[in-house]
Structure 1
Amino acid sequence: MKSTLISCLFFLTLCAGCTVPPYSRQDIEKLSGLPVGNGMTLHPTEKWMLISRPSEFTNEANGKPFYKIYFLELGEDGWGEPQTVSFESRFNDYHPVISPDGKWVYFNSDRPPPGEILPAEKMNIWRVAIRPNAFSTPEYLTDINTEHHESYPSVTGEDVLYFNSDRPGGKGSMDFYRASPIGNGFSAPELVAALNTADSENDLTIDALERFVVFNRYLFDTNEVDLFISNNQNGLWTDPVPLERANQADVWELTPTLPPGGTYLLIEVDGKIQVSLMDDVLE
């Protein structure tokens, strides 16, 4: 059963996406070793990407660096130097995710919610519209955010939003939820029960056609973080299975990312991008 799932997912991964991505094999492989922290995402049709990582600015309250989102453009000589984005704040902004249609950037932030001046005590999800040579003013997702943590968004080609939260009603710690687009907002989030456990589910990335997900799970008993994969079969998610060929002992595999085209899997290991071919991961 496991091999069948993996073979199916490999096929789906290769044919995911409706447009030909602008990146060559060399473009993707040059990302290997790039310093990141909690997020990387590539635009589906234009030659640029966003990453997040610790900045040089320190939070005086806890002595930790603020996380910022950076823009990198692909030129003839490779990827350019990271530049801060126009929607940056004086707070933590990280885990950018570009929607499959290239119209939105979703991200985590503890910047003050609308009408407030103090940073949020829990993480929230925001988004900005991608405009020609610019980003819009950040939008707080009122339909999604609560007084609890909402974070690590991922979005399908139909603008269905997946994210994790520690709100009441889950199976424990951080769990995955799903919300459908309604007008300019979203429906009430629903628990994706089949993907969740009493451990902490994080960093979900979803196929543009909502056919499979890759995510990591923090295992409280062993203090490990491993990658898992699940297939959507007629609207029902299969039991997640470990991505054994990607998981390493005593290593935390973070922020799995599916670049446009579906040939590669990007993950963060020890603060740097690790590039793998999907066929190597799923064999």
Structure 2
Amino acid sequence: MKNVYIYIALTGMFLNGMVCLGQKKGTEFSYFNLAVPKDTPTVFASGIISTHHNEYNSTFSPDGNVILYTIANNTYYNRFYTIFICKRIKGQWTSPEIVSFSGQYSDADPFFTPDGKGVYFISTRPVVGKAVKEDFDIWYVSYQNETFGKPQHLGNQINSSNDELYPSVSAKGNLYFATENKKTGYDLMISAYKNGQFQKPVGISDSINTDNTEFDAFVAPDESYIIYTSMGGKNNVGSGDLYISFHKGNQWTAGKNLGHNLNSKHMDQCPMVSPDGRLLFFTSFRDSQPYHFEKPVSTSAYLKILNSPLNGLGNIFWVDLHMVLNTL
């Protein structure tokens, strides 16, 4: 059955127009039976998805019954990424486990296609032979009858000898991703999908790509807006902030910081909007760990902090996107 999208108009104070978010009709979503947050970001599924580990980039299947996300090890020089999966079966969510196509090589940044028939992700796995790549390339794996197929490399039209990161795909099949730029760090690219093939990638827009680093972009299914991370912007709250840009006519508007209530003094990245267009998920390295104590802390109390979310490693947060936009 084809996806049917209802468009919900959201007005922000910084807009002269409206933005439409895609929502799949007739789908009932349940996020681990949790109460949906409002305009203040909260840790998502604490102790289940967000733990004392390093969690990144979540993505939901269009029916809301599958979540994929990434866990990274904590070593600085040899970081290894693995994609995990949880499924909702008869109303109950399964425990997280490594997804079938991951666990051998460094894999990250999963993204469910809007039709739910496949997942894009990045990997250092060998393209030819057994040599593991030193950079990340974009791959695709089909998903049919609740089973993942064999990962396929997207080829040299998309991939290069540098990193390609965080793929996001529109309903038309257009591919958005970040590519490494030796001068500015990373830039956002788009590869149009025409006649069954990806075209040569081009920079998304000078109004988005700047002399700073832009990466980790989520594009709306109808390509009406894009949410991304920028490092070093003049309005940044932390080391990396989330911004939003709207597609008007044939142009993208200048990125707008999503505000101090959402962004923190730490790194905020990996935006992903829920299939119903309502909720924004993202990764943040914010913490609640004190920098000193009123009196010496006990061993058990300190280990409890270290073994809990908000210990300074990455956690997945969620927030009501509509409410965030209305506060800008």
Q: Equivalent residue for 2:197?
A: 185
Identity of counterpart residues, as a percentage? Answer: 24
- Over 3 Å counting, the alpha-carbon distance change for 1:77 and 1:135 in structure 2 is closer
TM-score by length of 2: 0.75
Q: Match for 1:175 among 164, 187, 190?
A: 187
Counterpart selection for 2:322 from 265, 279, 282: 279
Instruction: Give the Å deviation of 1:95.
Output: 1.0
Contact 2:64 2:275 in 1 (8 A): no
Correspondence list, 1:1-283, <5 A: 3-5=13-15, 8-9=18-19, 12-13=20-21, 16-24=22-30, 27=33, 29=35, 31-33=44-46, 34-35=49-50, 37-45=55-63, 47-54=65-72, 64-75=78-89, 78-113=92-127, 115-142=128-155, 143-167=157-181, 172-193=184-205, 194-219=207-232, 224-270=239-285, 271-282=314-325, 283=327
State the Cα distance separating 1:268 from its structure 2 match.
Answer: 1.3
Separation (CA, whole Å) in 2 of partners of 1:210 and 1:28: 29
Q: Tell me, yes or no, if the aligned pair for 1:245 and 1:281 is still in contact at 8 Å.
A: no
Structure 2 residue runs without a partner (length 5+): 1-10, 37-43, 286-313
Q: CA RMSD in A?
A: 2.7
Task: Report the Cα offset of residue 117 of structure 1.
Answer: 1.8
For residues 35 and 78 of structure 2, the distance between their equivalents in structure 1, rounded to whole angstroms, comes to 31
Q: After TM superposition, give the deviation of residue 126 of structure 1 in Å.
A: 0.6
CA distance in 1, matches of 2:30, 2:64: 13
* Structure 1: gaps of 5 or more residues: none
In the superposition, relative to structure 1, how do residues 4 and 220 fare at CA in structure 2: closer, same or farther (>3 Å)? closer
> Deviations for 1:117-161, whole angstroms, at most 9, x for unmatched residues?
221121111110111121111111112001121111100011110
Q: 1:250 and 1:235, CA in 2 relative to 1: closer, same or farther beyond 3 A?
A: same
Describe the SS at the equivalent of 2:275: coil
Compared with structure 1, are the counterparts of its residues 29 and 7 closer, same or farther at alpha carbon in structure 2 (3 Å cutoff)?
A: farther
Tell me the TM-score normalized by structure 1.
0.86
- Larger Rg, first or second structure (1 or 2): 2
Work out which structure has the larger RCO, using CA pairs closer than 8 Å and 6 or more positions apart in sequence.
Answer: 2
Give the letter for the 2:178 counterpart: N
CA distance in 1, matches of 2:181, 2:262: 28
Q: Aligned-pair distance for 1:201?
A: 0.7
Give the whole-Å Cα distance in 2 for the aligned partners of 1:179 and 1:261: 25
**Partner secondary structure for residue 216 of structure 2:** strand
> How big is the shift at 1:219?
1.4
Is the helix fraction higher in 1 or 2? 1
